[in-house]
Amino acid sequence: MTTPGNITGLGVVLGSTDPEPLIEWYRAALEPLGARWEGHMLIIGRQAVIGFDRRDDVADKAAEPGRHLVNIVVRDIRAAERHFNTLGVTWVRPVEDTGGGWIFSTLLDPDGNYLQVLQGPDTP
């Protein structure tokens, strides 16, 4: 039997020159899929968070949006796709079956960061 590790979760902080519209967009995009706003961050699943920070050391738009990818795993990617389409998102990579039971997509957030939405063969 292995001993549980010391890591208990994962978080990402999105820095922005104007985080309020970014927060509004992520809440509109992810709360209907099951995320919840708590304090100053979105709780994603049981042990992951997305935080937001006002920064003056970043550009208004992501210069290299593929450098950092926010990945969300969902149970029903087609339902997520329908929801995102109601928001008028820009798809970088439309929802597609990539083989091995994985379905994959990428869209842009308002700051030009990539949000990837995945469904795996054993997505719990």
| Domain CATH for 108 | 3.10.180.10
Query: Is 112 a member of any domain?
Result: yes
Query: Is 1 a member of any domain?
Result: no
Report the domain count for the chain: 1
What per-residue confidence (pLDDT) applies to 46? Answer: 84
Confidence of residue 1 (pLDDT cuts 50, 70, 90): low
Residue 110: closest CA among 12, 6, 29, 50 = 29
Query: Is 98 a member of any domain?
Result: yes
Give the span between the Cα atoms of 70 and 66, in whole angstroms.
10
pLDDT in tens, 62-118: 999 999 899 999 999 999 999 999 999 999 999 999 999 999 999 999 999 999 999
Query: Is 3 a member of any domain?
Result: no
Query: Is 30 a member of any domain?
Result: yes
Query: Is 88 a member of any domain?
Result: yes
Query: Is 89 a member of any domain?
Result: yes
pTM of the model: 0.91
Query: Is 5 a member of any domain?
Result: no
Structural domain boundaries, residue 101: 10-56+65-119
Residue 69: closest CA among 16, 3, 12 = 12
pLDDT in tens, 5-38: 888 889 999 999 999 999 999 999 999 999 999 9
